Structure 1
Amino acid sequence: MRLHAFFATLYYCGLRPEEAVAMRVEDVTIPGPDARDQWCELLIHTATPEVGKQWTDTGEIHEERDLKGRAQGETRTAPGHPALTRILRQHIEDEQLKPGDLLFQGETGGILAGSVIRRAWRSARKAVLPPHVFESPTGKRVYDNRHTRLTKCQRRDPACPGGRVGRQQRARAACHLRPLRRRVAAGLEEASGSRRRPPRAA
């Protein structure tokens, strides 16, 4: 699948889709094939979400923005598992990409469209999942790749880096999961209260 490297980047690094589509080849530091340390590193500095032509000054569908939750011009780095290093190295070679090129491109070399991403993700899920799982909410959204990575880091999965960067990812995961836990707890409390509440008299 042509977007294999794109989805792998979301999964292994926890990137938002709008961050991944903005990346250039030069934003990825990939060690040589014979290097002992095969972790790669991604520099994320821009997001290009789809906002619609009517909402941009340029008339383009995408709008370039600073990173979510970061100061203007601030960047961040994300370590990539050796498995991702192999995938990206092959992707760059297969696509014959140059340093200034977009890392993940649309069919004409421009920004990868959200509709193309969603269609590819739906096709991939349908190809590998049993029908009942495919129809369920499990991994239904492209964004769920990021959620999966943050959850794994929170659980100290071996695929997450150790040291300072690993602690940062686990801290982001904890912050990300906290509102979800509150909603689940509130729902359980409400359900429990409903069971205890006596029925109203007719």
Structure 2
Amino acid sequence: MNPLTRIDWSAPETDDEVDFRYVPEPKMARELIDAVRAQGPRGEHLYAFLACMYYAANRPSEVADLKKSDLVLPEEGWGEMILAGSRPEVGSGWTDDGKPYEERGLKRRARRATRPVPIPPVLVQMLRDHIKTQGARP
């Protein structure tokens, strides 16, 4: 008799855990983000996007859907972002309305669920600077 048939095991529902062996330390991350910013207008535009992914552990699609009204950015100290949706880029051939992205709720959450995310002072300042220089959608 095959002993493997007696094993009761199923694969985990998700395998998207972060492998911290490949996450840069804070000093290196800041240098990488600053290097992107130094690349000119496009880098200036991407600076806050990458900072949100690193300092707040946001998915790219969550950052793409972030609005100014979703942010609490005090003059000093910790802030907060309230994530309410995501906007993954899927290509215009894959959407019903021909847009290159879809507007969705947060991944693995109810359609209208929100998720509060505390953001450290360094990201608060980066976002304040970005809004001042690049603007923000309403």
* TM-score past 0.5 threshold: yes
For residue 11 of structure 1, the aligned residue among 54, 66, 70 is 54
Equivalent position of 1:47 in the other structure? 86
Tell me, which stretches of 5 or more residues in structure 1 are unaligned? Answer: 101-202
Equivalent position of 1:63 in the other structure? 102
Tell me, which stretches of 5 or more residues in structure 2 are unaligned? Answer: 1-36, 38-43
**Structure 1 residue 26 displacement after superposition:** 1.0
Equivalent position of 2:73 in the other structure? 30
Letter in 1 for 2:58: L
**Structure 1 residue 96 displacement after superposition:** 3.5
Number of matched pairs:
95
TM-score where L is the length of structure 2: 0.65
**Structure 1 residue 97 displacement after superposition:** 3.4
- Mapped to 2, the partners of 1:7 and 1:55 lie a distance apart of 26
- Mapped to 1, the partners of 2:93 and 2:85 lie a distance apart of 21
- Mapped to 2, the partners of 1:96 and 1:24 lie a distance apart of 11
Letter in 2 for 1:17: P
Determine what percentage of the aligned residue pairs are the same residue.
39
TM-score where L is the length of structure 1: 0.45
- Tell me, what secondary structure is at the counterpart of 1:49? coil
1:107-147 CA-to-partner distances (Å, cap 9, x unmatched) read xxxxxxxxxxxxxxxxxxxxxxxxxxxxxxxxxxxxxxxxx
Structure 1 runs of 4+ aligned residues shifted over 6 Å read none
What RMSD over aligned residues (CA atoms) do the two structures have, in Å? Answer: 1.2
Equivalent position of 1:190 in the other structure? none
